[in-house]
């Protein structure tokens, strides 16, 4: 939305947007100096720091799990997933952490988590019966629901679980940010003005979703829009407890070594100074008034 609305140019930034299918690839391009900013959060930030990188979160956009869990029509409650397979995009990904949190909260054990490779692959795995459930967000979830698959746990239920987690946000390299603090602040300002326009201009938002996803179905666009505005936080601050909880989850999943994680405080993965400065300058108060 910021790009389509000319907001980066408004703040003197020349921004090109590139799509990458995995956060790990985005992190590689950032560490190689090919990109200065990214829309990522979660495990990729932690893994990069533990591996010696300096990619950090500088703003939070979505502060809860949002990816719904869809199941076969015959499965009506989470307890029925015991002994079954559940599809996630990648192991230790946001979809994996979401599935793990859902199952733990429900006390369901004996579930096999299957790495499918991506959201389309998770959709296909569920459709073909290869898994009993899968983590699938809009717009693919619309097709699943229309074909009789059940939304076992939706975004509203995930928010009600109140599990601290930054699912998406703005990231950059710490070394870049310290040398270019004004650019970081301008990037945050433009991005959040773009978010504000999502709330104010539904028509432009729907057209933008259609442009970048190549989706033309009105129902899918409508659900994607509603999913986005319901999920996005107006507060850009990265919660300390969410970063600490993420590290703990990754240790529990054996995605990272506990000994390595203990070497870093949660503040190694984020820096709120740029958002705090914008708060003091009155940017966010004016934006959301």
pLDDT tens, position by position, 149-174: 999 999 888 988 888 889 999 999 99
Residue 252's pLDDT band, with cuts at 50, 70 and 90, is confident
pLDDT digits (tens, 9 = 90+) for 213-251: 888 989 889 988 998 898 899 999 999 999 999 999 899
pLDDT of the residue at 265: 95
Dihedral angle, C-alpha 85, 88, 91, 97, nearest 10 °: -100
Q: Where are the alpha helices (DSSP H) in the chain?
A: 7-10, 23-31, 43-50, 94-106, 119-127, 140-146, 155-161, 174-179, 181-200, 202-213, 218-231, 240-252, 258-261, 273-280, 283-288
Residue 188's pLDDT band, with cuts at 50, 70 and 90, is very high
Structural domain boundaries in the chain: 7-63+164-288, 69-161
Using a pLDDT cut of 90, give the percent of the chain over it.
79
d(CA 279, CA 248): 30
Write the CA distances from 127 to 11, 113, 134, integer angstroms: 45, 17, 10
- Equal fold, 7-63+164-288 vs 69-161: yes
Task: Choose among 99, 53, 287, 264: nearest CA to 193.
Answer: 287
Name the fold adopted by 69-161. D-Maltodextrin-Binding Protein; domain 2 (3.40.190)
Q: What is the CATH number of domain 7-63+164-288?
A: 3.40.190.10
This prediction's pTM: 0.88
pLDDT tens for each residue of 98-127: 999 999 999 999 999 999 998 899 999 999
3-state secondary structure of 12: coil
């Amino acid at each position: 939305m910021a790009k389509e609305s000319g907001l980066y140019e408004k703040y003197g930034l020349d921004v090109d947007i590139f799509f990458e299918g995995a956060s790990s690839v985005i992190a590689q391009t950032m560490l190689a100096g090919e990109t200065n900013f990214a829309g990522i959060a979660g495990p990729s930030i932690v893994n990069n720091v533990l591996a010696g990188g300096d990619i950090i979160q500088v703003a939070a956009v979505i502060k809860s799990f949002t990816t719904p869990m869809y199941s076969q029509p015959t499965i009506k409650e989470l307890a029925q997933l015991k002994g079954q397979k559940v599809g996630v995009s990648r192991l230790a990904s946001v979809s994996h952490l979401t599935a793990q949190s859902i199952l733990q909260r429900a006390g369901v054990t004996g579930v096999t988590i299957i790495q499918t490779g991506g959201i389309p692959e998770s959709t296909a795995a569920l459709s073909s019966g290869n898994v009993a459930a899968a983590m699938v967000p809009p717009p693919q979830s619309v097709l699943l629901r229309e074909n009789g698959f059940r939304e076992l746990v939706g975004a509203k239920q995930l928010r009600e679980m109140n599990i601290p987690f930054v699912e998406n946000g703005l990231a950059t390299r710490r070394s870049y940010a310290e040398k270019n603090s004004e650019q970081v602040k301008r990037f945050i300002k433009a991005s959040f003005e773009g978010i504000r326009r999502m709330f104010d201009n539904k028509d432009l938002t729907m057209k933008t979703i259609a442009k970048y996803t190549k989706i033309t179905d009105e129902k899918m666009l409508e659900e994607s829009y509603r999913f986005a505005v319901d999920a996005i936080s107006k507060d850009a601050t990265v919660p300390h407890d969410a970063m600490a909880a993420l590290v703990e989850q990754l240790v529990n999943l054996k995605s990272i070594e506990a000994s390595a994680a203990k070497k870093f405080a949660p503040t190694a993965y984020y820096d709120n100074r740029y958002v705090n400065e914008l708060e003091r300058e009155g940017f966010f108060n004016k934006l959301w008034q």
